[in-house]
Amino acid sequence: MAERNTPTGGPRPLTANCEELHPGISAIIEELRQKNAGWTYAAAVAYAKEEWHKRNPAASTGGAMGCCATGRLPKPESRTITRAELEAMYPPSAPMQPNEAAALERLLAIADSDTGQSRRVANFLLAWWNASRDGGFDLTDLWAVDTAIAQDMTTVFCLVARVHSYPDTLGYGARFEPLVEAWRPKGGAR
């Protein structure tokens, strides 16, 4: 049964026989509506039918959408999320843990010296400070540092991923600025 469009241009809601024609489509609709809370039911139905036909190509006959070709899919409604919704998506992280602070302090001390390992540690730390200006970090540099240093780098890497913050917002700006001057004179190359 071909579906007719409503006066607003979107597809009609599911009919009783739609679940018979598309077993499991209700679950796809719910999945889409959970992922896209701002979507209308009609938009979810339209995208669910398209998704159902992608998942069940053998059941599709008569074109891409087979029995329920509805033409253009409606645009999902766009909306601005509230501050509360944004904060719920990105809850505040726990403060820096003592083991993370200790690892960072050890790496800063190494970067303050002048060895092959200190250059690699400085590259790692400065990639966190400002990767676009101060260069990135070559992961193969982990091969050229002691295991304990690599473990500290791993700890700090996890810290960066967890806190979503730059070093200066964690109170380390004064410790990182001299590294920039020492290892990236005049904003230069590594």
Per residue in 104-136, pLDDT (tens digit) is 999 999 999 988 899 999 999 999 999 888 888
Give the tens place of pLDDT for each residue, 145-188. 999 999 999 999 999 999 988 999 999 999 999 999 999 887 55
Taking the complete model, does pTM exceed 0.85, yes or no? no
Residue 183 and residue 142 share a domain: yes
Is 13 contained in some domain?
no
In a domain, residue 8? The reply is no
The answer to whether residues 111 and 151 belong to one domain is yes
Among residues 39, 44, 43, 52, which one has the least CA distance to residue 10?
Answer: 43
Establish if 55 belongs to a structural domain: yes
Q: How many domains, in total, are found in the chain?
A: 2
Range of the domain at 28: 18-85
Strand-pairing partners, residue 11, are 5
Residue 142: exposure state from Cβ atoms within 10 A (0-12, 13-18, ≥19): middle
Does residue 28 belong to any structural domain of this protein?
A: yes
Give a yes or no: residue 11 inside a domain. Answer: no
53 shares its domain with 110:
no
